[in-house]
Amino acid sequence: MQGTQLVEFITEQLEDMKAKDIVVLDVAKLSPMADNIIVCTGTSARHCRAVANNLLVEAKKAEMPPLGIEGLKEGGWVLLDMNDVIVHVMDQEHRDLFRLEQLWGGDSKHLNS
Asked if residue 65 has pLDDT above 90, the reply is: yes
Secondary structure of residue 112 in the 3-state scheme: coil
The predicted structure's pLDDT at residue 80: 98
Asked if residue 26 has pLDDT above 60, the reply is: yes
Total-model pTM:
0.89
- Tell whether the torsion through CA atoms of 43, 22, 54 and 79 is positive or negative: negative
**Mean pLDDT for the stretch of residues 53-74:** 96
Residues 71-84 pLDDT 10s: 999 999 999 999 99
Residues 90-104 pLDDT 10s: 999 999 999 988 877
For residue 28, with 0-12 CB atoms within 10 Å meaning exposed, 13-18 middle and 19 or more buried, which class applies?
A: middle
The predicted structure's pLDDT at residue 38: 96
